Chain A
Amino acid sequence: MNFWTDLRIRTRQFFKKYKNIIIIALVAWAVIFVINMILKYRKEPETPISTYTPNKSIMSDEEVPKKVHTTANKILDEFVEYCNQKQYEKAYNMIDEECREEVYGGIDLFIKHIQEVFGNSKKIYNIQNYSNVGKTYVYNIRILEDIITTGTTGNYNYYEEKIVFKDTNNGIKLCMGGFIGKEEINVIAEDDYMKINIYEKVLRYETEEYRMKITNKTQDTIVLYDGSVSSEIVLDIGNQTRGLENYENGAIIINPGATKEIGMEFTKFFDDGRTANKLIFNSIRVLKSYSGEENRREQELANATKLYSMNIDLK
């Protein structure tokens, strides 16, 4: 048998034997080729370039998951619609229960706030994702007149605040007024003079508040804060400390044998990546008498039972 005859026979045998494989390979190749051609000639629809990316964090460029921002938009559409229609109770009930209690303490204050913000004309809103920490998504919301229908005639103002969406096991929760959430911490510090039980931490976008019970175990007066010394109480957040914010009563004084409930608030941004390590009482004064008068301070301090400081670990 000569070479060509042999090749012809072998080729025929080969194609006969591998016919199916060859057909499948050719079909697969054709399909890939066609898909490739379609993708090559398919033009993406061009849309106007906009710098408005409401669901992209301005702090980190991180995108909020679609599931979260789709629900968040629905919640806000509904919330603003209720407020526009003055259905305040329905709007109020959309807010996370813990937040309702902490921020408004009841529907009356909420209604007052919404009436101030919304007034009597229809309002619209826009949002911008600010930062994300775990499954907590902080947005900035602006509420303003429906400007395309008014042309900003009369005035051009807007109200803004931080709102938060939390992706929880029970769905996506809305928090307003910069409220993030509460955490139980249950830290106890005790010595011969007093007992401090820090039971809760309240997180807001700009602050952390530590709620505690302080018991004076002595027959003397204990002064923790009266503004007479700098940095009397500070929060240690690593390489920085933060002073006590606007303590509303001006002084923290525990009478002999008494227990006082106190909330201490410190500036600390929720998304600053820092953790509070210690609560530091730099100037605890156990005094036989306390008048609060500047001219008697030196004498009262000279007669003090004890002057000391205390660090409470929060971790």
Chain B
Amino acid sequence: MKKKEVISFVVLILVTLILAIINFNLFQSKIVKPTQHNEEIKKQYETRGSSNNTVQKSSTDEELAENKLEKLKDMGERDRMETYFAEYIAHVEKEEYEQAYVLLNETFKANYFPTLEEYKNYVKQKYPSMIGVEYNDIERQGEYYILFISIINPLANKGENSSFNQRIVLYERDFNDFELSFSV
């Protein structure tokens, strides 16, 4: 190939590449992005248009779950475990026994509380109506975490048994996907 031809070839390739990049950028900025934006606006409009109480509620629930997930992703192990236990104990405090029961490890349930009724009786007898939790320590055993906590009854009078210690074992499968058990 002559020198002149080589130069022409290089120039042509460069020109082709530049044109291709310009074309692609134009395609992205003038066609793809506006279309996507339009779709988003359309979706928002449709969502608003067809909104009713149920949809709003589920959308709020979804948002809350999403927010919770994002917060969990930013947390370290200790904070995540405490958050999970806080979720469990909140169910207990609100007397949402079924939701609390679901969070327990299946074999643990079978061993100690085969029925929801038995679990309810235990919880009602063991925990105060208003529950304070003090996190004393955390240990890890392989994939399991052990929280050493004190359950406090803030309404207890002086001299009464106002607190007791408990160990909580947690296993986290994924963010916000966990199971737990506790020393009975």
Would A18 and B9 count as touching, CB distance under 8 A?
yes
Q: Is the CB of B167 within 8 A of A151?
A: yes
Are A50 and B77 closer than 8 Å at their CB atoms? yes
Chain B residues, Cβ within 8 Å of A150: 108, 111, 181
The distance from the CB of B145 to the nearest CB of chain A, in whole angstroms, is 9
Complex Cα distance, B144 from A288, in Å, reads: 66
Are A149 and B181 neighbours in the complex by a CB distance under 8 Å?
A: yes
A124, B142: Cβ atoms closer than 8 Å: yes
Residue of A whose beta carbon sits closest to that of B17: A29
User: Is A3 at the interface (CB under 8 A from chain B)?
Assistant: no
Q: Give the chain A neighbours of B171 by CB distance below 8 A.
A: 148
Classify chain B's interface size: 35 or more
Check B112 for interface membership: any CB of A closer than 8 A: yes
Smallest CB separation, A177 vs chain B (Å):
21
Give B38-75 interface residues, CB cut-off 8 Å to A.
72-73
Across the interface, do B146 and A147 meet the contact criterion of CB distance under 8 Å?
Answer: yes
The prevalent SS among residues of B at the interface is mixed
The distance in angstroms between the C-alpha atoms of A147 and B175, with both chains bound, is 21
Please name all residues of chain B whose beta carbon is closer than 8 Å to the beta carbon of A10 when the two chains form the complex.
Answer: 8
Of chain A, the residue at the smallest CB distance from B177 is A48
Chain A residues, CB < 8 A from B107? 146, 148-149
Q: Is the CB of B174 within 8 A of A151?
A: no
Say which size band chain A's interface belongs to: 20 to 34
Q: Does B13 contact A (CB under 8 A)?
A: yes
Q: Are the CB atoms of A149 and B167 closer together than 8 Å?
A: no
The digit string for A126-161, where 1 denotes a CB below 8 A from any CB of B, is 110000000000000010101111111110101000
Give the docked Cα–Cα distance between A127 and B111 (Å).
27
Write the nearest CB–CB distance from B106 to chain A, whole angstroms.
9
| Inter-chain contact A51/B181, CB cutoff 8 Å | no
Q: Is B150 an interface residue (CB 8 A)?
A: no
Residues of B near any A CB (own CB < 8 A): 5, 8-9, 12-13, 16-17, 20, 72-73, 76-77, 80, 105, 107-108, 111-112, 140-144, 146, 167-169, 171-172, 174-175, 179, 181-184
Known pairs A126-B141, A154-B183 / 10 extra A-B pairs, C-beta < 8 Å: A14-B8, A14-B12, A22-B13, A46-B175, A54-B142, A127-B142, A149-B108, A150-B181, A151-B181, A151-B183
